[in-house]
Amino acid sequence: MKHKFWETQPVGQFKDLGNSSLPEGPIELPTPLSEVKQEPYNLPSLYEWTTCDMGSDEICNEVYILLTNNYVEDDDNMFRFNYSKEFLQWALRSPGHFGSWHVGVRVKASKKLVAFISGIPVNMRVRDQVLKMAEINFLCVHKKLRSKRLAPVMIKEVTRRIHLENIWQAAFTAGVLLPTPITTAQYWHRTLNPKKLIDVGFSRLSERMTMSRAIKLYKLPNSTTTPGFRKMELRDVPAVTKLLKNYLSRFVVAPEFDDSEVEHWLLPRENVVDSYLVESPVTHEITDLCSFYTLPSSILHSQEYSTLKAAYSFYYVATSTPLLQLMNDALIIAKQKDFDVFNALDVMENESFLKELKFGQGDGQLYYYFYNYRLQNALKPSELGLVLL
Q: What residues make contact with ligand NHW under the rule CB under 6 A?
A: 3-6, 70-72, 134, 136-141, 146-152, 155, 158-159, 162, 167-170, 172-174, 176, 178, 371-372
Of 141-149, 177-185, 226-234, 312-320, the segment contacting Mg ion by CB under 5 A is 141-149
Comparison of 91 and 136: residue with beta carbon closer to ligand NHW: 136
Residue 368 interacts, among Mg ion, ligand NHW, none and using kind-specific CB cut-offs from 5 to 8 Å, with none
Catalytic residue among 197, 248, 375, 389: 389
Judged by CB, which is closer to ligand NHW: 73, or 351? 73
Quote the radius of gyration of the chain (alpha carbons, Å).
21
Cα–Cα distance between 299 and 273 in angstroms, integer?
22
Tell me which DSSP letter residue 198 carries: H
- Residue 81's binding partner among Mg ion, ligand NHW, none (Cβ under 5 to 8 angstroms by kind) is none
Are 155 and 3 in contact, with CB atoms under 8 Å apart? no
- Judged by CB under 5 A, the stretch of 14-22, 137-145, 290-298, 315-323 that binds Mg ion is 137-145
Applying CB under 5 A, which of residues 91, 131, 150, 366 lies at the interface with Mg ion? 150
Least Å distance, CB 383 to ligand NHW, is 21
Instruction: Assess 155 for contact with Mg ion (CB under 5 A).
Output: no
Q: Which residues pair with 25 in a beta bridge?
A: 374
By a kind-dependent CB cut-off of 5 to 8 A, residue 287 interacts, out of ligand NHW, Mg ion, none, with: none
Q: Establish how many alpha carbons lie within 13 A of residue 229's alpha carbon, considering only the half-sphere containing its beta carbon.
A: 20
CB 372, min distance to ligand NHW, A: 6
User: Which amino acid appears at position 326 of this protein?
Assistant: L
Output 151 or 164, the one with its CB closest to Mg ion.
151
Can you give the length of the chain in residues? 389
Shortest distance, CB of residue 198 to ligand NHW, whole angstroms?
27
CB of 152 to Mg ion, least distance (A): 9
| Beta-strand runs (E) in 71-155 | 79-81, 102-107, 113-126, 129-141
Which of Mg ion, ligand NHW, none is residue 5 near (CB under 5 to 8 Å by kind)? ligand NHW
Residue 120 partner contact from Mg ion, ligand NHW, none using kind-dependent CB cut-offs of 5 to 8 Å: none
Taking residue 279's Cβ as centre, other Cβ atoms within 10 Å add up to: 19
Smallest gap from Cβ 44 to Mg ion, in A, equals 9
Q: What share of the chain is helix, strand, coil (3-state, %, to 5)?
A: 30, 30, 45
Taking the least distance from each CB to ligand NHW, the nearer of 54 and 134 is: 134
Cα separation, 362 vs 122, whole angstroms: 29
d(CA 263, CA 95): 10
User: Whose Cβ is closer to Mg ion: residue 46's or residue 217's?
Assistant: 46
Q: Give start and end residues of each alpha helix (H) in 337-365.
A: none
Residue 140 CB: number of other CB atoms within 10 A?
24
CB 141 within 8 A of CB 90: no
359 binds, among ligand NHW, Mg ion, none (CB under 5 to 8 A by kind): none
Out of 15, 108, 148, 219, name the contact with Mg ion by CB under 5 A. Answer: 148
Helix (H) or strand (E) holding 238: helix 237-248
CB of 48 to Mg ion, least distance (A): 16
Task: Work out how close the CB of 142 gets to Mg ion at its nearest, in angstroms, rounded to a whole number.
Answer: 9
Q: Which is nearer to Mg ion, 150 or 167 (CB)?
A: 150
Of 103 and 344, nearer to Mg ion (C-beta) is 103
Between CA 82 and CA 75 the distance in angstroms is 16
> What is the rounded distance in angstroms from the CA atom of residue 12 to the CA atom of residue 183?
12
389 is catalytic: yes
CA gap 276, 140 in Å, rounded: 33
Cα–Cα dist 80/191, whole Å: 18
Contact between 305 and 299 (Cβ < 8 Å): yes
Q: Which residues are catalytic?
A: 389
**Contact positions toward Mg ion, by CB under 5 A?**
141, 148, 150
